[in-house]
Structure 1
Amino acid sequence: MSKTANKKVVCEKLIEYGKKDRDIVALTSDSRGSASMTDFGNQLPDQLVEVGIAEQNIVGMAAGLAASGKKPFITSYAAFVTMRAIEQVKVDVAYSNVNVKIIGISGGVSYGPLGMSHHALHDIAVMRAIPNIKMIMPADRYDTEKLMEELVNYEGPVYVRVGRNAVEEVHQSADYEFEIGKADQLSGGSDLTIIATGELVSTALKAAELLEEDDLDCRVINMHTLKPIDEKAIIKAAEETGKIITVEEHSVYGGLGSAVSQVVAENHPVPVKVFAIPDEPAVTGYPEDIFKEYGLTPSNIAEKAKEMFD
């Protein structure tokens, strides 16, 4: 199975659309290399703004560009653009409701060896609480391609989080429907539903395959849009499968698990188990080591899922 970094796809699509539309502007915060935006700068130098390590400034400048009719895309570290610059995101972008796309790169524990300062494990909770901003986490290159196609023409603030490393494809091709705010059901099932987001969707699919070996029919949903979340898909899963597991590269508080649990509790209460990073400073290490430490692996998810049937 081939692997591609979603951030690389972001750059490829921005180059493609930027050549057609001179109003598209990319902004980086000393993150051109990390965001895979070097080619964009080489091919469209007049449409790239480098602000240096100044996340508050990059958000303010993007808001100003948007207010002037430009279509700014911020490509900055997820951990910093959602923490250091959150006041600017809230006031300059959300409150003003300007057309700014914030691409948070190296989300989750992508920068695992650099420790907690570089982990982006609270961005879902923060961004979902701010009005006017949509929040999206594509699962693979196809999700990212389709998302970028929509974002180019979508008017309004959007926060997108992608990881640093190449990820497995969860779709066989681009032959499927992608719609902001509508969940993507990857497999059917009547015994249990696994709802995952971002680059752990592939982990959820592998867990479902393990459960099939124990004759458990597992539905897998790619919840790429965290806000607005697809309540209909969640309620349908609760009604039809009776048990739900959520999987995310985020704190156990305020993320996908919290959002799904709220929808379930208010509409059709069923057991929900949340797989996420616990409420502690996450360990330092490579992403795969961190996932193993906290049980975000196919084998652990499958084992805990089976316990829901005891």
Structure 2
Amino acid sequence: MSETQMGGTDLSSDPEAWLRDNPKLSNRQIFRHALARFAEQDPRLVLLEADLGGGGDPFEARHKDRYFNLGICEATMLDMACGMAHVGHVVFAHTFAPFGAMRACEQVRLGMAYPRANVKLVCDYGGVSGAFFGPTHHAIEDLAILRSMPGMLVLSPADGLETILATRAMIDHAGPVYMRLGRNRVSRLEEPRGGFTLGRALCFREGSDVGLIAHGEVGVSVALEAAQRLESQGVSARVVNMHTLKPLDEAAVLETAERTRLLVTVEEHTILGGLGGAVCETVCARGLGRQVLRIGIQDRYDPLAGSHESLLRGHGLDGAAVAERVLASLSTRRN
């Protein structure tokens, strides 16, 4: 089934209408549909997967000659992707985040990043979204690892619309990209946005007391909920969607620091080396002298499997918990 047959709207020309016609798709499913649609427009696109294919996959169904399922062989998949990129293809390699970022880390470093291969590594199961599979399927370190690789562009879209726009932008970008998605969460944000530009953050909400800087399906929605709760307590919160972690929009960090009294990062990633680390680096390098409250996955592995939401709550990644921590920090600063 083509994208125009799914509700009669075209994902490419009117992604917002297409999303309204397909309200139950998760971001990882939206990525599949977006890539299949864009492949109709660009014959260079190729999709490689590590045992993620199956009945009904739109890319496999509509572009069989450009689809390769390599099985559970992530390193081989990345080697093949880099080779195909060097002969002119725009290659998307799709797998789970813990395996793409860590099991195949050497291939990403030496095959993708070092020669700046035109490969787009797209990974599901970011953060603890692979909840009930346990820590082997959690990806809490991936952004820290890949953000440190020279030449790598790192993305973490906040909802379905941003996933479509980011996929389009990746195709147009010549060079290695890592895009991180979740698992089954359906994300549809109502906040208006003026397009999508790699490396340029979006301000979703203005505020003067606290600057909440977030990324991803969980981080941005939690930050927006926290901002609403803070407003009910008389605290004005600015919310910035930092969808590109590398290159980081340092101007957005500086502007938020100038407009607020406290910087807070919110992300489904370890508080070490991800967005929290990147913002702290900017604050220190620019000599801003600002406190940064880092909210994310704590420095531990979860010993037990559980639901996604229960694991997030265990790490304080929900709107109520974030608002409470912000209020406590503001109270301490006043004293």
Q: TM-score, normalised by structure 2?
A: 0.88
CA contact (8 A) 1:103 1:159 kept: yes
* Aligned pairs for 1:25-64 within 5 A: 25-33=46-54, 38-64=57-83
Matching residue of 1:235: 254
Pairwise CA distance, 1:72: 0.6
Q: 1:17 aligns with which of 1, 20, 38?
A: 38
Letter in 1 for 2:210: L
Pairwise CA distance, 1:13: 1.2
CA contact (8 A) 1:100 1:156 kept: yes
CA contact (8 A) 1:142 1:171 kept: no
Q: 1-side partners of 2:189 and 2:277: how far apart? A: 24
* Aligned pairs for 1:61-210 within 5 A: 61-172=80-191, 176-200=194-218, 201-210=220-229
Pairwise CA distance, 1:152: 1.6
CA contact (8 A) 2:49 2:70 kept: yes
Matching residue of 2:5: none
- Does 1:282 find its partner at 2:307? no
| Paired residue secondary structure (1:83) | helix
Long gaps (5+) in structure 2: 1-19
- Cα offsets for 1:186-227 (capped at 9, x unmatched): 000011010111012011100000000011110000110000
Long gaps (5+) in structure 1: none
Q: Which has the higher contact order (CA 8 A, sep 6+)?
A: 1
Q: 1-side partners of 2:231 and 2:301: how far apart? A: 34
Pairwise CA distance, 1:171: 3.6
- Cα offsets for 1:141-177 (capped at 9, x unmatched): 111111111112211100000011133322446x522
| Paired residue secondary structure (1:170) | coil
CA contact (8 A) 1:56 1:84 kept: yes
| Paired residue secondary structure (2:186) | strand
Q: TM-score, normalised by structure 1?
A: 0.95
Q: 2-side partners of 1:275 and 1:155: how far apart? A: 33
Q: 1-side partners of 2:268 and 2:148: how far apart? A: 18
Tell me how many residue pairs correspond in the alignment.
307
Matching residue of 2:231: 212
Q: 1-side partners of 2:190 and 2:172: how far apart? A: 24
Pairwise CA distance, 1:245: 0.8
CA contact (8 A) 2:27 2:187 kept: no
RMSD (Å) for aligned C-alpha atoms:
1.5
